[in-house]
Amino acid sequence: MEDKLQLDEALCEAQTKMDINQFDKALPILDKLVKTVEKSEPYKDDEDTEYHSFNEDLEELLYKKFEKPKKDICNISEPISKLYLAYGSALMELKDKEKAKKALLTALHWNPVDPAIHLQLAEWESHYGDKEEVLKCAEEALKWSFHQKNIGNCYYYFGWYMDQIEVHSAALGYYRLCSDWGDGDRKYLSDKETAMLVLNQNTEVPTLMDMETYSIKYNVPLSYNSKIVDFVLEQGNKAASDCDKETAVYFFSILYEMTGSENVKDTLDQLKEELEMETETETDTAISV
Q: Tell me the per-residue pLDDT of 48-59, one tens digit each, with 9 for 90 and over.
A: 999 999 999 999
As a whole number, the mean pLDDT across the chain is 90
Contact 172, 194 (CB under 8 A): yes
According to the model, what pLDDT value does residue 279 have? 74
According to the model, what pLDDT value does residue 16 have? 96
Contact 43, 72 (CB under 8 A): no
Q: Which residue has the higher pLDDT, 185 or 70?
A: 70
Q: Is the pLDDT of residue 34 over 90?
A: yes
| Pair 218, 230 in one domain | no
- Residue 84 makes CB contacts below 8 A (sequence gap 6+) with 34, 103, 104, 106, 107, 110
Q: Is the pLDDT of residue 265 over 80?
A: yes
Contact 148, 230 (CB under 8 A): no
- Residue 112 makes CB contacts below 8 A (sequence gap 6+) with 52, 63, 67
Its pTM stands at 0.90
Range of the domain at 208: 143-223
SS3 content of the chain, % helix, strand, coil (to 5): 75, 5, 25
Q: Is the pLDDT of residue 13 over 50?
A: yes
According to the model, what pLDDT value does residue 194 have? 60
Contact 25, 85 (CB under 8 A): no
Q: Which residue has the higher pLDDT, 148 or 104?
A: 104
- pLDDT band, residue 92 (cuts 50/70/90): very high
The domain total for the chain is 3
| Pair 194, 156 in one domain | yes
- pLDDT band, residue 184 (cuts 50/70/90): very low
Contact 142, 172 (CB under 8 A): no
Query: What type of residue is 92?
Result: M
Q: Which residue has the higher pLDDT, 32 or 280?
A: 32
| Pair 76, 96 in one domain | yes
Q: Which of 175, 199, 223 is the last residue of a domain?
A: 223
Bridge partner list, 74: 51
| Pair 159, 255 in one domain | no
| Pair 27, 67 in one domain | yes
Residue 122 lies in a domain: no
Residue 34 lies in a domain: yes
Closest CA relative to residue 150, chosen from 224, 51, 71: 224
- pLDDT band, residue 181 (cuts 50/70/90): confident
Q: Whole-angstrom Cα distance, residue 155 to residue 194? A: 14
Q: Strand 72-75 relative to strand 49-52: parallel, antiparallel, unpaired? A: parallel
| Pair 215, 276 in one domain | no
According to the model, what pLDDT value does residue 1 have? 43
Q: Whole-angstrom Cα distance, residue 230 to residue 65? A: 12
Mean pLDDT across the stretch 240-251?
A: 96
Q: Is the pLDDT of residue 241 over 50?
A: yes
| Pair 31, 99 in one domain | yes
| Pair 4, 43 in one domain | yes
Q: Kindly state the DSSP code that residue 43 receives in the 8-state scheme.
A: -
